[in-house]
Amino acid sequence: MIILGIESSCDETAAAIVKDGKKILSSVVASSAELHIKSGGIIPEAAARKQIESIIPVIKESLAEANLKPADLDAIAVTEGPGLIGSLLVGVEAAKTLSFVWKKPIIPVNHLWGHIYAAWIDNTPNLPAVVLIVSGGHSDIFLMKAETDIKWIGGTRDDAAGEAFDKTARLLNLPYPGGPSISKEAESFKDAKLTKYPRPLIDSTDFDFSFSGLKTSVMRNLDKENIGKEAAEVQEAIVDVLVEKTKRAVGKFNPKSVIVSGGVAANKRLREKLEKDIKNVDLFIPEIKYCTDNAAMIATAAYYLKKETPWQEVSANPQLTLV
Ligand code: KG4
Ligand code: ZN
């Protein structure tokens, strides 16, 4: 089954063609991140306008890269939500139009299923799995029992982990997106003792996170002369909490696998610590290019979710939840 995936939930415009949920025939990502550098965060209106400019060229390129024609496709998968409404609409309306014109079924995909199924691109994790999704909009822990059966067990009470990186990066005067810039700055301090900032809720027995206090603490205690060290301190505080809660979920639910995905899962320090600390269970973290927003994960998820829907019934839903 050959699926064209389309992803446009935030500031990436992406299209990919995936065969049988495994073989990536093409994956094209255009980002409007540069547009948002000056403002230090995403401007939804600007992101949506950029989506409109990029969507057709990106879809065309995904077909060309895969050396396929529309007639070769079996279905079109598209992110229906959650995300920014203006951005989502561009991908959803493009997918509906193509579905009508090319006479191909459409498979709407929740963006979070996409992040989860990114782990299926190179592997087949055994279930049940503890899943940590950490991105710009989400920090959630789920227990995935079967291919379409998932239970939420905890999540952030305020800012998402990616948001914490992005907001503290602004305080440190580092460019958007904050995750990669903090990670780069932190590089030379990886062996330092890093305990300056609080690890919110690290000792609570639930699976919740709270990152907004970190921002306040950085604002109050920032050492402007040592931005590299500050970046390392921030990163370590976020990573410590994420790793600890994941370890605790493994202890409680005794899963066969742990899946960590979403933009923040691209973080090198997080990957290192998880690999060191998650023991006696298989750990799956997608390749970096499939952790951040992309359309290969959407086409892959569509293959497993198998939810073909008439185009008339597909619509963008910015508040869509997974469970
Ligand atoms: O999954 P994603 O691409 O988009 C959303 O669905 O939100 O995640 C974007 C988030 C941003 O907050 C960005 O700062 C963060 O992922 N991010 C990282 C890294 N790369 C991206 N955070 C920490 N370290 C990274 N290397
Ligand atoms: Zn995402």
pLDDT in tens, 112-163: 999 999 999 989 999 999 999 999 999 999 999 999 999 999 999 999 999 9
* N-terminal to C-terminal alpha carbon distance within the chain: 27
Q: Is 46 exposed, middle or buried (0-12, 13-18, 19+ CB in 10 A)?
A: middle
Would you say the CB of residue 10 lies under 6 angstroms from ligand 1? yes
Percent of the chain at pLDDT above 70?
Answer: 100
Ligand 2 centroid to Cα of residue 264, in Å, is 9
Interstrand relation of 12-19 and 23-31 (parallel, antiparallel or unpaired)? antiparallel
* CA proximity to 178, closest of 140, 127, 214: 214
Contact 240, 202 (CB under 8 A): yes
Environment of ion ligand 2 (residues, CB < 5 A): 135, 293
pLDDT of 190 higher than 90 = no
pLDDT of 289 higher than 90 = yes
Mean pLDDT rounded to a whole number for the chain = 96
Residue range 169-192: average pLDDT?
Answer: 94
Ligand 1 centroid to Cα of residue 11, in Å, is 11
Would you say the CB of residue 300 lies under 6 angstroms from ligand 1? no
Residue range 2-27: average pLDDT?
Answer: 97
Best of 135, 168, 243, 290 for a ligand 1 pocket test (most atoms within 8 Å of beta carbon) = 135
What's the pLDDT at 32?
83
Note the Cα 245 to chain centre separation in Å: 18
Among protein residues, the one with the nearest Cα to ligand 1's atom 21 is: 263
Ligand 1 centroid to Cα of residue 183, in Å, is 11
What's the pLDDT at 38?
77
Query: In this predicted model, what pLDDT tens digit does every residue of 205-230 receive, in sequence order?
Result: 999 999 999 999 999 999 999 999 99
Would you say the CB of residue 240 lies under 6 angstroms from ligand 1? no
Q: How far apart are CA 52 and CA 8, in angstroms?
A: 10
Cis peptide preceding 175, ω within 30 of 0? no
pTM: 0.96
Note the Cα 241 to chain centre separation in Å: 18
Which residue in this structure is represented by tokens 């809660």?
245
Tokens representing 34 are 């540069």
Using alpha carbons only, how large is the chain's radius of gyration in Å? 19
* Strand ranges in the chain using DSSP code E only, listed in sequence order: 2-7, 12-19, 23-31, 75-81, 106-110, 129-134, 139-146, 149-155, 257-261, 282-284
Would you say the CB of residue 82 lies under 6 angstroms from ligand 1? no
Query: In this predicted model, what pLDDT tens digit does every residue of 62-90 receive, in sequence order?
Result: 999 999 999 999 999 999 999 999 999 99
Taking the CB of residue 81, how many other CB atoms lie within 10 A of it? 21
Query: In this predicted model, what pLDDT tens digit does every residue of 229-282 receive, in sequence order?
Result: 999 999 999 999 999 999 999 999 999 999 999 999 999 999 999 999 998 999
What's the pLDDT at 42?
86
pLDDT band at 37 (very low <50, low <70, confident <90, very high): confident
Q: How far apart are CA 35 and CA 175, in angstroms?
A: 11
Tokens representing 297 are 């994960």
What's the pLDDT at 316?
98
Residue range 295-300: average pLDDT?
Answer: 98
